[in-house]
A and B are shown apart, each in its own frame.
Chain A
C-alpha cells in the first residue's frame, strides 16, 4: 500500500521539478533576449513598453543596462522563489515534510514571492523613468499603474507564508506530543 503510494508520488515530483526548471528558463530567457536583440524579439514579444517610449534604438548604454536590471529583478526574485521549492521536493521524496528545514524554505519562498509582487509592480514605473531620463525637460514621464494582476501576485506569496505558518504550528504540536508519554 505504502509502496504503491510512493511510486505514484515520485513521477509527479519529478515532473514538478522539471516544471520549475522550465519556468525559470521561460521567465529569464525572454528578458535577456528582449534586451540583447530587440529587433528579433519584436516578432514574438508583442506590445513592448519600451517601444511606447521611443524604442530600444534611442537608448544609451546605461539605459540599456539599467532597463535590463529593472526588468530582470522581478524575474530573478520569482526564480529564486521557485528554487526554494527544489529542497522541498527533495524532502517530500524522502517523506520528510514537517521539519524545520522545509518550514524555512517555504517561508523563504513566500517572502521572495512577496518581494517579486512588489518588484513587478514597481518595475514598470522604474523602467519608464529610465527610458525617458534622457528626454528634454517636460518630456520625461512617470507612470504608476495598478492592475488586478498586481494583487493576484500576492496570493501565491500569502499562501506560501500561510503554509509555512501551518508547518511551524504542526511541528510544534508534534514535538510537544513527542514529550508526552
Chain B
C-alpha cells in the first residue's frame, strides 16, 4: 500500500497505550489495530482530528506516502 500509517511509531514516541487512544477517539481497539496495520480503506476526518488532538501531532506525522516503483 502506498499510504503508510505510522500510528504505532507515534504511540511509542508519546508513550500512549492503544487502549487509551481508542477510548479517547471513541472507536474499538480492534478497529484501532486495523488502522495501525493499514488494513482499512479510509480514515474519517473526525477520527484523524481526535488522534492528532490526543497525540498532539499533525496528520502528516501519522500518515505518509511511499511511491512504488
Contacts and interface: CB of A to CB of B under 8 A. Distances in A.
Interface stretch (A130-138, A163-171, A173-181): A173-181
Nearest to B48: A181
B43 to A, nearest CB: 6
A179 B32 CA distance: 12
A136 to B, nearest CB: 72
A128 to B, nearest CB: 58
Interface string B25-45: 001000110110000111110
Interface residues of B, number: 11
A179 B30 CA distance: 12
Interface of A: 176, 179-181
Interface of B: 27, 31-32, 34-35, 40-44, 47
Nearest to A178: B41
B2 to A, nearest CB: 17
Contacts of B32: 181
A161 to B, nearest CB: 28
A94 to B, nearest CB: 25
Contact of A176 (B27, B35, B41, B47): B41
Nearest to B31: A181
B19 to A, nearest CB: 16
Contacts of B35: 181
Nearest to A180: B42
Contacts of A180: 40-44
A181 B31 CA distance: 7
Nearest to B28: A181
Contacts of B40: 179-181
A176 B40 CA distance: 9
A180 B46 CA distance: 11
Contacts of A179: 40-42
A180 B27 CA distance: 11
Nearest to B47: A181
B40 to A, nearest CB: 5
Given A179-B41, A180-B41, 12 more contacts: A176-B41, A180-B40, A180-B42, A180-B43, A180-B44, A181-B27, A181-B31, A181-B32, A181-B34, A181-B43, A181-B44, A181-B47
Nearest to A179: B41
